[in-house]
Amino acid sequence: MALTGTIALSVSAPTNPAQAEPDIETVRDRVDRLLHQAEQASERYNDARLELAELNRDLDSLEADQSRQGDVLDGVRADVRDATIQRYQNGGLGATGELLASDSAGFLDELATLSTVDGIQDSLLSDYDNELEAYSIRRDQTEERRADVKALKKDLAKEKKSADDKLVEAKSLLSKLEEEERAEILSRGGYRAPAAGSIPASGRAKAAIAYALAQVGDAYVYGAAGPNAFDCSGLTMMAWAQAGVSLPHSSRAQMGSGTPVSRSDLQPGDLVFYYSPVSHVALYLGNGMIVHAANPGAGVKVSSVDEMPYAGAVRPG
């Protein structure tokens, strides 16, 4: 689910002449901080989605294991019943002959009261006890995972709200400026996109670059991964997917999905990361340039590699 948040550039400026015009530098700094904070929340949202998917896979496995363990437990219980009934039919139960309880605790309690307990094979009772314990462990683990999933879903909602709130505040600030000033703040620092064929890359990196450059001008939407809107990690994930390389939808996770490279060894196609903790990723084009999904105002654009605080780089594949 993408987080909505494209910032419109057509909001009318306030007409009240008594209202003081905001200082554009102050607004620019504040908008930059808000957009960055919104992206940080969005990337935490992406991280939480990955964790939730992993938890759900774990939960599915545990539930299947719990079901299998329950079947084994039922089988051992049936074996104990059969052995007990056989003893009864052979005269070992005396006059009682009552059926054994179906619940685990009652089952063992009734076994303890039967005159034939000593006659039932010790190994059979031991198997039942062991399987009961194993089933209890699986059941507890499954319940823990269910609780983890529930808590993480709350975190997802919180991060989405945080990103949306920051965008609303940024829009409010921008609405106080003239349209040209808003456009200057949101789209500054962009460069004309080079032709993909002019980038000195080959193989998988060439395919990734060609895809990313073809998206220049597309919208930035939190949580999006195409086809017409992206967030930063959604763009790099889809770009490298064209080259057959699977990346997670998270800038933080993508930083651990390749071979680290120094800044002096950057090659076209490398992933470049920004801020600490990492909350933005771009695709390196060479000659000090990157292509990235920048923010809700600028969308996908080509920028300088120095546009944001550099944090590191990796080479996927």
Q: Report, as residue numbers or ranges, the catalytic residues.
A: 232, 280, 292
Q: List 229's β-bridge partners, or say none.
A: 219
d(CA 315, CA 304): 19
Q: 279, 251 in Cβ contact below 8 A?
A: yes
Residue with tokens 């809107």: 229
Residue with tokens 């000090």: 288
Q: 273, 261 in Cβ contact below 8 A?
A: no
What number of CA atoms fall less than 13 Å from residue 183's CA on the CB side? 6
C-alpha dist (Å) from residue 35 to 90, 163, 177, 304, 311: 81, 9, 17, 18, 18
Residue 253, helix vs strand vs coil: helix
Cα dihedral 183, 193, 191, 301 sign: positive
Closest CA to 317 of 173, 202, 230: 202
| String of DSSP letters for 121-169 | -HHHHHHHHHHHHHHHHHHHHHHHHHHHHHHHHHHHHHHHHHHHHHHHH
CB atoms within 10 A of CB 226: 15
Task: Give me the helix-helix angle, 24-89 and 122-174, nearest 10°.
Answer: 160
Q: 220, 6 in Cβ contact below 8 A?
A: yes
